[in-house]
Chains A and B, each alone.
Chain A
């Protein structure tokens, strides 16, 4: 019997979505680095070729690239294992006569276009979108406020049909998620279902018009007195 560590996380409920995204990106880099080393290092001389052997290199990684020390060691080991599991699956397919290629390098999941409007390091609006064949395929538009040296969501619009944590504006309508004390407290439909490109521009205009009201409400909720 093969047991795996798995539990459900709710990053949008706990307000740690940005930190989760950062960890995911570090693991993406670790996966790519495992793949890179597998290709360039000598299996016998450098003692790799299995997840168990390759995991012994993690200490060296952390010394050379401190970013790998920012995630849990067990999780990093699982990422190395994932590479070898994928390699095993690829090998099995090849043995069955499938025409297989090589494991793909995992690209960073960022947006094609990103914008940040800062205001003296106290509030900012971030926008990002990715497009394909003349259509916006995912976007985020978020108002943030700096509290205790960390950026907190104030309100957020998003569209990403492939994500479990984002909306699909073409099906659900354009929703605005409202945050308080680091948690999403509600999600409101502000506009009806529409194409993602239209939704992005409607959401931008909405936030432009109402940013002051949302900031004032956020300051009241969090007892921030700046006036």
Chain B
């Protein structure tokens, strides 16, 4: 996959994450920003 495609994918995921946070706030309560995370663990290698 090219760098351009990956950047496009990242942008689409960011947009999807915004929608996810809004829906979680609606379904579970709270504010969309309550569902923004900043993971520090780094698995997957």
Contacts and interface: CB of A to CB of B under 8 A. Distances in A.
A166 interface: no
Interface in A168-227: 176, 178, 188-191, 197-198, 200-202, 204-216, 219, 226-227
A214 B36 CA distance: 22
Interface of A: 112-113, 115, 117-120, 122-123, 125, 127, 131, 134-136, 155, 176, 178, 188-191, 197-198, 200-202, 204-216, 219, 226-227
Interface of B: 1-2, 5-6, 8-10, 12-17, 19-21, 23-24, 27-29, 35-39, 41-44
B27 A131 contact: yes
Given A131-B27, A226-B2, A119 B12 contact: yes
Contact of B2 (A113, A210, A213, A227): A227
B13 A205 contact: no
- Of A118, A123, A189, A197, most B-chain CB atoms within 10 Å: A197
Contacts of A191: 39, 41
Given A119-B5, A205-B38, A208-B13, A214 B20 contact: no
B1 A206 contact: no
B13 A120 contact: no
A165 to B, nearest CB: 20
Contacts of B36: 201, 205
B39 A189 contact: no
A188 B9 contact: no
Given A125-B13, A215-B6, A201 B43 contact: no
